[in-house]
Amino acid sequence: MIERAALTLVGFPETERNSSNPIKEHTGNKASVANELVVMNLDGIPGTGTIKGMSGGGVYHVQDGKPLLIGIEFKMDGTGQEQQYGRVQCHSLAKFEEIITTHSSAPMIPAYLECFSNMRDKIFSFNVADQNNVSDLKVELKKAADYLIANGLLPPYKIMEQYHSELLVDPKNLGELKTYKLWVAYLEFLVISVLIDQSEGADDAYLKGLERKRRLIYTSDGTNWISRLEDLLKTARRLLDKNGTLIVASPEPAAHVLPKTFKLEKVIGNISVVPNQGPFPSIDSIDSFENAILKSFKLIHLEGLRRECVVEIEDEYTSVQPGKPKSGLLREKLIEFIN
């Protein structure tokens, strides 16, 4: 969570339980996070009398218009009565995740992970000069998403359980698995994949067949994605078969669709150098084998792909012959980049 992130405490204070509106909200911001404990500053600096009874209430951070539960309030902050003003302590969700894991209970997930229909309206937001140029294309793509959702597409939480950290650029940053933007990008990825493969659906069998051929991985870090080439190539080596495609989704609006060839070759050269383990293994043969596999991968940025295949050529979509689908042109453009 960002420094001093805006938070809202929602609860049922004792002083309001007989009123017509007993549920109260207190806004504020994050003061600190340490050892699974979140300390929240409350606006207006209310005292214990005002907050008493709100223990067990949720603490939320609103992101993209959606309230995200980040903790549960349980006491005022401060050791003495005279110190207990304007700050509360909250157990972070990490504490509850630990309990859930220990007891093998069902995981906590945001409600929007129950179905991809919750992401449907946000997919394929093309930043074009004239939205009329791509309006028919967007209708086709959203209809395709609707069809996939209605015909066997696993819900986001099932895909999350199945692939877990393999969905992330940084597999240690597991909090990103519940990020709404990841699942918007993943639904786009599935629609694109089905279009390229001319598949009749995206059920579990399709995903199984896709997983060693083409993957999407996400990061909320907007740093230039080319700076991570070595890690991305190692991820591709781990997740994909030869000639596979790794698509990166991140908040980098000006991202290049592909890395420069000379940059890739330099990074591949560094990765493929391995120490000699004895008198018999040949470094040259090992290097040749690794080079062949690493050079076969395609690394692509989702935003760059969207720009190259739609935004930069938006006028071409108005020239598609009447009666022919706009998605046919998109497919032609996509397969210039994606296996």
Q: What is the pLDDT of residues 24-49, one digit of tens each?
A: 899 988 888 877 788 889 998 888 88
| Amino acid 49: pLDDT | 84
3-state secondary structure of 260: coil
State whether 95 and 187 are in the same domain: no
State whether 318 and 212 are in the same domain: yes
Q: Which two tokens stand for residue 113?
A: 């992970």
Residue 175 belongs to a domain: yes
| Amino acid 276: pLDDT | 58
Of 82, 102, 122, the domain-final residue: 102
| Amino acid 211: pLDDT | 96
State whether 54 and 27 are in the same domain: yes
Please give the DSSP secondary-structure letter assigned to residue 107.
P
Of 51, 78, 102, the domain-final residue: 102
For residue 71, what are the domain limits? 6-102
Count how many domains the chain has: 2
CATH number of the domain within which 22 lies: 2.40.10.10
Q: Which two tokens stand for residue 292?
A: 């062949």
Question: How far is residue 292 from each of residues 91, 228, 237, measured CA to CA in Å?
Answer: 50, 20, 11
| Amino acid 65: pLDDT | 77
State whether 257 and 227 are in the same domain: yes
Please identify which residue in the block is written with the tokens 């009874």.
53
CA-based torsion, 203, 205, 206, 210: positive or negative: positive
State whether 132 and 98 are in the same domain: no
State whether 42 and 84 are in the same domain: yes
What tens-digit pLDDT sequence spans the chain (339 residues)? 566 788 999 989 888 888 888 898 999 888 888 777 888 899 988 888 888 899 988 999 887 777 888 889 998 887 666 556 788 899 887 777 777 767 766 666 788 999 999 999 999 999 999 999 999 999 999 999 999 999 999 999 999 999 999 999 999 888 899 899 999 999 999 999 999 999 999 999 999 999 999 999 999 999 999 999 999 999 999 999 999 999 999 999 899 999 998 888 888 877 766 555 666 555 554 567 778 899 999 999 999 999 999 999 999 999 999 989 999 999 999 999 997
Residue 1 belongs to a domain: no
Crossing angle of the two packed helices 180-197 and 302-309, in degrees rounded to 10: 50
Per DSSP, helices labelled H in 17-134 are: 48-51, 93-102
Residue 125 neighbours by CB distance under 10 Å: 12
State whether 147 and 267 are in the same domain: yes
